[in-house]
Amino acid sequence: MATLELTEPIFAETIEKNELVILDFWAEWCGPCKAYGPVYERVSEEFPDVVFGKIDTEDQQALAGMFGIRSIPTTIAFKEGIGVFMQPGALPEDALRDLVTKLKEIDMDEVRAEIEAQESKEE
């Protein structure tokens, strides 16, 4: 599956209805984004079971603001609706491929338990 252009109306549904979603926050005027785009696209084709979304920060300013995007490109990943990764800067192709593999291996029961433990400490 090729990359999906995500906008605010379909954002929440995309995150909720797919097990693993990887997002690329980018802009047309951004040189590093233009270099990262083809890498992101190539890796997306290797993982048809993963949703690779692209969010244009100029067009989707509310989404960019929601995540506090300060530099682009920024890669963010959600697994089972929970944010599990965020990194500004373009990732090398091998690093992006490794990231997808590692994200698939994350035990989400452990992640949810960690979140619960953290929330109970904050109360």
Which residues have a catalytic role annotated? 30, 33
Q: Tell me the backbone φ, ψ of residue 55, rounded to 5 degrees.
A: -125, 115
The position carrying tokens 């990943």 is 77
How far is residue 36's CA from residue 120's CA, in Å, rounded to a whole number?
39
Q: Which residues are registered as beta bridge partners of 23?
A: 53, 76
CA-wise closest residue to 56 among 114, 121, 7, 90: 7
CA-wise closest residue to 22 among 100, 77, 94: 77
